[in-house]
């Protein structure tokens, strides 16, 4: 092969490599990107099919129920307007409390309950996840102001 | 009074930083000796006043002076003294001050150890560092003054975030910052080279040790952060691809590329403008990282907007530093490059590939970190990018890089014949395929594609790293042995292999179980029996805790007891999980208490983490390699020799 052909071949191979890598990365990006869905939209059934998404809201007071001695539990999330039942099995984060804002990752089951595989609560007593603060402000502005007190 | 002295010292430091930033640069431009001579004394003066300010803030913390707002917000009377001190850099204002102290210390080191630099060049380097210092001092004084008063003073403070009350996190920020800020030296060298319009191999030789030292501190800093997250965040992960972690990792990746590119610039005088660009990039990413972490933008785009003064200053400063550097680069760099040939099979090619792959990795991490912010700013919804994405995206460039390491290390500069290279690498390749392909399966009883690829890559890197040291040990008497630089490279690459092996084994063979346990109950996880003996309350200096006693035995033989805690810090009323960890060279056993489940039962997380220590050990070995390489003779001897002879010596050893 002439040097020029060699160079063209090298450039061509590099371009193909970059293309494949880009395609793989974008695909992985699409698969792993998780949308935040508001509880109001979940109630209307506007959720991504067959993939995880995130929901957030306040944990309703006295809604945490578990069978004594078992890891499974359920609780209710609210945006102060609509509610969503969340099922979870595992260890809750340190700052999970009733009345606190939390975020959960998971998807809906056939009964329309949210099955969470991850529950997140930030490490700050006064912290309100920004998504949750936004939804609250949108759906119940007066109550949200109270809740942030 | 003390706080006012500190504040005043910061203002004086700013005045000196302005002198240090402006006069030497002007002097170098006009070739005015007296102006250039300002550089070193101004840097020293600035250092003194910065230290005074830092000492004043530390004094305020140690004496619990709650009339200083920053102290009142981040300390409390019952806080142990060591954490009162580490609280100095526990939040935004103080960590900026720490940044300034370290920048000033690096400047002093440069002015002390770079006496042999041409006068104008040294003046420019110190001048650029002075300008950076101006920016940070202005930012601190205008928007984030740690000495702001709070009158009337509260009786007690709001306490340091309990997460930060830990020895690992007390030393993590200083070490990390030494690394971060160290890249400012490489940056200043790059700017000085472009200002002077002159960049030769000596330039690369001066820049290399500084870059290596900051890189190795950054390596240790990141490893400490990962170790801390592992035992303190409570859940046993060692890397979360969290934006804060990515912020420190991006400059590391760019810095690693810079180290390799500098090698080519020093030995062959090539890649000059590329090296300059990497020096600018590494430091820009350090700046970006500091500000990402410190500005609150990561918590929410809106939090950033709530303090417009800080946000605006940050953006302006980033714009000036990065934009200015890139503009200068566009103007000056093309003239600096020199053309010299190299064959496709040569060390240059492999180092080029190394750089391309590392830059791709940096770009991907940057994209993943900033994508959620961008999408939110554009109002296109709210997304998060999870660890699985980063794992895939990062592995794509890294796996080929690991295999290329071995080829690059043993390829000659300029040109390399294929046959001798293959002959050299035959033994390591066989070792890697055999050991890497079989060992994980034989030890842990399971084979898998990722494990095999990871383990082969790890043993490949480790065995090729040993070739040169072994050959040096077996050499004939009287022939020269391996140079420190080459030995350092071998050690650092061996560390990369250890790290890779650790990551591979931990990812594949960790056993993790969340269970319900009540006192007296026994469970088995990964061949170990865990028995919850009892739970009891105890009282710490500023917290209350519930402590579990968990006995661990293997094959019926008792091997130890772990005491995980669930703490409640009294002032902030915040709960914290303190994991119990039993470490040994080949595995960690990790126990954390979850929540009370009723009927005396507690949720407990039990984990078996094989080879996890290799992850941090690998990072330390990389850093050790850096120390060995940076202390190579030629960085000292050649410099002195040149000063005496006043003629640049030729090709370095």
Cα three-residue angle B553-B559-B565, rounded to 5 degrees: 85
pLDDT score of B324 more than 70: yes
Of B230, B262, B481, B256, the closest CA to residue B365 belongs to B256
Mutant choice from A33, A37, A74, A89 vs B, greatest count of B C-beta within 10 A? A33
Q: What is the pLDDT of residues B508-528, one digit of tens each?
A: 999 999 999 999 999 999 999
- The domain boundary, picked from B301, B321, B336, lies at B336
Tokens 């590939």 belong to residue: B353
What is residue A2's predicted lDDT score, i.e. its pLDDT? 62
* A110: closest CA of chain B, how far (Å): 25
Interface of B with A (CB under 8 A): 161, 163, 234, 299-300, 302-303, 344, 360, 364, 368, 371, 381-386, 388-389, 392-393, 396-397, 514-516, 518, 572-577, 592, 594-595, 597-599, 601, 603, 605
Q: Which of A123-127, B22-26, B172-176, B366-370 has the lowest mean pLDDT?
A: A123-127
Nearest CA in chain B to A129: B299
What's the whole-number mean pLDDT along residues B52-71? 96
Pick A34's closest partner by Cβ from B299, B383, B392.
Answer: B383
Indicate whether B523 belongs to any domain: yes
In degrees, rounded to 5, the angle at the alpha carbon of residue A100 between the alpha carbons of residues A94 and A106 is 75
Residue from B396, B400, B577, B600 to probe the interface with A (highest A Cβ count within 10 Å): B396
What predicted TM-score, i.e. pTM, was given to this entire model? 0.90
- In a domain, residue B154? The reply is yes
Q: d(Cα B329, Cα B283) in Å, to the nearest integer?
A: 14
| Token pair recorded at residue B649 | 């010596």
Q: Does B519 reside within a domain?
A: yes
- What is the DSSP annotation of B226-238? HHHHHHHSSS--S
Q: Is the pLDDT reported for residue B52 higher than 90?
A: yes
- pLDDT of B643 above 60: no
Mean pLDDT of B616-631: 96
d(CA B566, CA A104): 23
Q: Taking CB atoms and an 8 Å cutoff, what residues of chain A touch B302?
A: 130
Select the residue of A34, A92, A94 nearest B384 (Cβ to Cβ).
A34
Q: Is B278 a member of any domain?
A: yes
Q: Do A28 and B388 touch (CB under 8 A)?
A: yes
Query: pLDDT (tens digit, 9 = 90+) per residue, A99-108?
Result: 888 889 899 9
* Chain B nearest-CA residue for A91: B594
Q: Which residue reads 């190795």 in tokens?
A: B216
CB contact under 8 A, A71 and B385: no
Chain A, chain B: beta-carbon pairs less than 8 Å apart: 93
In this predicted structure, the answer to whether residue B295 has a pLDDT above a threshold of 80 is: no
Q: Residue A129's pLDDT is what?
A: 67
Backbone angles phi, psi at B332, to 5 degrees: -100, -30
> Residue B577 and residue A94: Cβ atoms within 8 Å?
yes
Final residue belonging to a domain, choices B282, B311, B336? B336
Strand ranges (DSSP E) for B151-204?
A: none
8-state DSSP, B320: I
Domain-located, residue B80:
yes
Could A28 and B392 be called an inter-chain contact, meaning their C-beta atoms sit closer than 8 Å? yes
- The model's pLDDT over B121-132, given as tens digits with 9 standing for 90+, comes to 999 999 999 999
Question: Which secondary-structure segment (H or E) carries B446?
Answer: none
Contact A35, B382 (CB under 8 A): yes
- Per-residue HEC secondary structure of A71-114 comes to CEEEEEEECCCCEEEEEEECCCCCCCCCCCEEEEEEEECCCCCE
Which structural domain range is residue B552 located in? 512-613
Bridge partners (DSSP) of residue B591 are B580, B606
Strand residues in B492-569 grouped as ranges (E)? 511-517, 522-525, 528-539, 543-554, 557-562, 565-569
Domain-embedded: residue B292: yes
> What's the pLDDT score for residue B234?
64
Alpha helices in A1-149, H assignment, sequence order: 3-32, 39-43, 130-139, 141-148
pLDDT of B307: 66
- Range in A122-131, B82-91, B564-573, B619-628 with the lowest mean pLDDT: A122-131
| Token pair for B539 | 């009282």
Of B336, B366, B392, which residue constitutes the final position of a domain? B336
Are the C-beta atoms of B9 and B53 separated by less than 8 Å? yes
* pLDDT value at B89 more than 80: yes
**Is B426 part of any domain?**
no
B477 falls within a domain: no
- Cβ-contact A28, A34 below 8 angstroms: no
Tell me which DSSP letter residue B290 carries.
Answer: H
The β-bridge relationship of strands A114-120 and A83-89 is parallel
Q: How many domains does chain B have?
A: 2
């Amino acid at each position: 092969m002439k040097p020029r052909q060699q160079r063209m071949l090298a450039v061509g191979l590099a371009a193909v490599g970059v293309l494949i890598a880009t395609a793989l990365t974008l695909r992985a990006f699409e698969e792993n990107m998780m949308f935040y869905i508001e509880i109001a939209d979940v109630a209307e059934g506007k959720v991504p099919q067959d993939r995880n998404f995130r929901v957030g809201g306040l944990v309703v007071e006295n809604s945490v129920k578990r069978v004594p001695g078992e890891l499974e539990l359920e609780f209710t999330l609210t945006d102060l307007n609509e509610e969503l039942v969340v099922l979870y099995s595992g260890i809750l984060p340190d700052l999970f409390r009733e009345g606190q804002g939390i975020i959960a990752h998971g998807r809906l089951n056939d009964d329309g309950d949210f099955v969470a595989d991850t529950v997140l609560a930030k490490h700050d007593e006064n912290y309100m996840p920004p998504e949750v603060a936004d939804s609250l402000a949108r759906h119940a502005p007066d109550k949200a102001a109270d809740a942030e007190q | 009074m003390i706080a006012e002295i500190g504040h005043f010292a910061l203002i004086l430091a700013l005045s000196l930083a302005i002198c240090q930033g402006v006069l030497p640069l002007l002097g170098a431009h006009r070739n005015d000796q007296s102006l250039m001579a300002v550089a070193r004394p101004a840097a020293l003066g600035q250092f003194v006043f910065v230290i005074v300010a830092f000492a004043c803030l530390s004094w305020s913390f140690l004496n619990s002076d709650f009339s200083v707002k920053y102290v009142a917000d981040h300390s409390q009377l019952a806080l142990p003294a060591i954490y009162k001190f580490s609280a100095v850099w526990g939040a935004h204002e103080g960590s900026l001050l720490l940044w300034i102290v370290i920048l000033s210390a690096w400047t002093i080191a440069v002015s002390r150890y770079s006496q042999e630099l041409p006068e104008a060049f040294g003046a420019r380097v110190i001048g650029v560092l002075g300008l950076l210092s101006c920016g940070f001092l202005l930012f601190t004084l205008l928007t984030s003054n740690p000495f702001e008063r709070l009158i009337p003073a509260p009786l007690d403070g709001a306490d340091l975030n309990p997460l930060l009350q830990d020895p690992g996190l007390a030393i993590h920020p200083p070490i990390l910052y030494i690394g971060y800020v160290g890249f400012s030296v490489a940056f200043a060298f790059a700017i000085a080279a472009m200002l002077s319009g002159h960049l030769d191999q000596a330039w690369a030789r001066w820049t290399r040790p500084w870059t290596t030292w900051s890189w190795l501190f950054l390596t240790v800093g990141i490893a400490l952060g990962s170790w801390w997250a592992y035992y303190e965040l409570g859940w046993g992960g060692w890397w979360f691809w969290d934006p804060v972690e990515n912020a420190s990792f991006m400059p590391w990746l760019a810095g690693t590329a810079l180290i390799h590119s500098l090698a080519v610039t020093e030995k062959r005088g090539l890649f000059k403008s590329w090296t300059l660009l990497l020096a600018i990039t590494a430091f820009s990413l350090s700046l970006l990282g500091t500000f990402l972490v410190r500005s609150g933008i990561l918590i929410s785009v809106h939090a950033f907007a709530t303090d417009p003064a800080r946000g605006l200053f940050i953006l302006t400063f980033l714009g000036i530093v990065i934009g200015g550097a890139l503009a200068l680069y566009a103007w000056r760099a093309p003239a600096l490059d020199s053309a010299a040939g190299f064959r496709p099979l040569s060390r240059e090619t492999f180092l080029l590939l190394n750089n391309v792959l590392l830059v791709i990795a940096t770009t991907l991490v940057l994209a993943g970190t900033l994508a959620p912010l961008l999408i939110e700013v554009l109002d296109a919804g709210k997304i998060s990018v999870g660890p699985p994405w980063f794992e895939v995206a990062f592995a794509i460039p890294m796996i080929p890089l690991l295999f290329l390491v071995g080829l690059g290390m043993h390829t000659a500069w300029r040109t390399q014949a294929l046959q001798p290279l293959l002959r050299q690498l035959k033994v390591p390749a066989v070792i890697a395929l055999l050991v890497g392909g079989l060992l994980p399966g034989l030890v842990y009883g399971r084979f898998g594609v990722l494990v095999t690829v990871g383990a082969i890559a790890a043993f490949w890197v480790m065995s090729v790293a040993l070739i040169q040291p072994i050959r040096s040990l077996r050499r004939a008497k009287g022939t020269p042995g391996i140079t420190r630089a080459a030995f350092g490279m071998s050690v650092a690459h061996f560390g990369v292999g250890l790290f890779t092996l650790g990551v591979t084994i931990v990812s594949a063979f960790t056993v993790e179980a969340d269970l319900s346990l009540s006192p007296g109950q026994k469970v088995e996880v990964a061949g170990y029996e865990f028995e919850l003996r009892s739970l009891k309350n105890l009282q710490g200096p500023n917290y209350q805790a519930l402590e579990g006693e968990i006995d661990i035995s293997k094959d019926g033989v008792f091997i130890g007891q772990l005491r995980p805690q669930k703490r409640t810090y009294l002032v902030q009323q915040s709960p914290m999980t303190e994991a119990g960890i039993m470490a040994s060279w080949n595995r960690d056993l990790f126990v954390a208490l979850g929540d009370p489940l009723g009927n005396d039962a507690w949720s407990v997380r039990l984990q078996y983490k094989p080879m996890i220590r290799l992850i941090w050990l690998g990072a330390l070995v990389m850093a050790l390699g850096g120390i060995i390489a940076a202390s190579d003779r030629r960085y000292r001897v050649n410099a002195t020799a040149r000063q005496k002879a006043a003629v640049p010596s030729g090709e370095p050893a």
